[in-house]
Amino acid sequence: MKPRPPQLISARRLKQRIKALGKKISRDYRRRDLVLIGVLKGSFVFLADLVRSLSVPVALDFVQVSSYGASTASSGVIKIKKDVDLPLVGKDVLIVEDIVDYGYTLDYLRRFLKNKKPRSVKICALLDKPSRRKVRVPLAYKGFTVPDKFIIGYGLDYNEKLRALPYIGTL
């Protein structure tokens, strides 16, 4: 049996922080027309737990964006592999992302979604890695700041492996 990768953030801490984020988002978007847009594939576990922590109605949609491939470093070339299906005109959009690293992907995605004429576009990221930031990305909601290591688990992968870890670990 292979050893499990080292734990950086426990499942318990993840649950507590996501609950707190859900309360804040629910307060901020009370009586608003909120659409959560999950960034596939990495955000799906976080998004599922976040949605269950909200006390406001939301619509859900997904985008799939590529910038990593099978590498541990972003190529800087952003591709939309799956666009949103819901109309966003006049809606409040909250992009839900697993991790902000260089910032290229979220900067591109934020501008891309703003072209769909929503009322607002904000970002909720579970993990922030500011030490690698190349592009300034405004995070309205943030779970944890993480060190400059390759992060896996809780939806984040390395070459499509290790997504199912119930905690955040390092490669």
pLDDT averaged over consecutive 10-residue blocks of the chain (171 residues)? 83 98 98 96 96 97 78 66 96 97 93 97 98 94 96 93 94 85
- Residue 132 backbone phi and psi in degrees, to 5: -105, 0
Q: Which residues are catalytic?
A: 101
Q: Has residue 70 been placed in a domain?
A: yes
Q: Has residue 86 been placed in a domain?
A: yes
Closest to 77 (Cα-Cα) out of 42, 112, 105, 39 = 105
Q: Has residue 4 been placed in a domain?
A: no
Range of the domain at 66: 10-170
- Which residue, chain included where needed, has tokens 């800087």? 76
**Residue 80, domain CATH:** 3.40.50.2020
Is pTM, for the whole model, over 0.85? yes
- Residue 24 backbone phi and psi in degrees, to 5: -65, -45
Domain count, the chain: 1
